Chain A
Amino acid sequence: DVKVTQSSRYLVKRTGEKVFLECVQDMDHENMFWYRQDPGLGLRLIYFSYDVKMKEKGDIPEGYSVSREKKERFSLILESASTNQTSMYLCASSPLSEQYFGPGTRLTVT
């Protein structure tokens, strides 16, 4: 079974802090994704990566950056957290078509 893990299930940070969300997959997938999920808005793609050190902007990249130094690990960085980044963050990996999701990190920025 594919396993995608995320470093924290719940996280509380203060405005202005730098926040790192980590995602690890164990299936040697080329592609990895970061989404945020908000009520009524569904899933919105922040960034994705199709190879080590490669990244592409998704639909809502503003205020975020990413890092992929190893194939299995994809990090999402909030350079200076703001209250409007309070959300559920979901990581996924994919060989090509279907995506496999981690359990999510619920981030609250106060």
Chain B
Amino acid sequence: AQSVTQLDSQVPVFEEAPVELRCNYSSSVSVYLFWYVQYPNQGLQLLLKYLSGSTLVKGINGFEAEFNKSQTSFHLRKPSVHISDTAEYFCAVGESGYSTLTFGKGTMLLVSP
């Protein structure tokens, strides 16, 4: 069985500062990894995905993530955040060949001026 741990439930940060949202997963098989963002009262939007290939993945809105197989991590980073990045971020893991995903409990990113 797969599981996803998002180590921080909330991350407060000042505008223009860098941020890292942490995600660790457990799985015994080949995985797909995703980060989604959810703005208030909206559905989830795909930020980026790792399916195979390069371990550094770039997504929308200036975000990137690095797949580290040995540490079973997929941390999300942005070098300089904006107020508009305030949202909840979800890490998810899927198994190669299957459509179901397991989601983490989410990390609320709070960007203040």
Contacts and interface: CB of A to CB of B under 8 A. Distances in A.
Contact of A96 (B43, B99, B103, B105): B99
A55 interface: no
Interface stretch (B19-27, B44-52, B62-70, B72-80): B44-52
A67 interface: no
A58 B32 CA distance: 19
A42 B99 contact: no
Interface residues of B, number: 22
Given A101-B43, A103-B43, A41 B99 contact: no
B99 A90 contact: no
Contact of A97 (B9, B36, B94): B94
B100 A48 contact: yes
B43 A99 contact: no
Interface in A75-110: 90, 92, 94, 96-104, 106
Given A48-B99, A96-B99, A97-B49, A42 B44 contact: no
A104 B103 contact: no
Given A42-B90, A48-B99, A50-B99, A104 B41 contact: yes
Interface of A: 4, 9, 30-31, 33, 40-43, 45, 48, 50, 58, 90, 92, 94, 96-104, 106
Interface of B: 9, 32, 34, 36, 41-46, 49, 51, 90, 94, 97, 99-101, 103-106
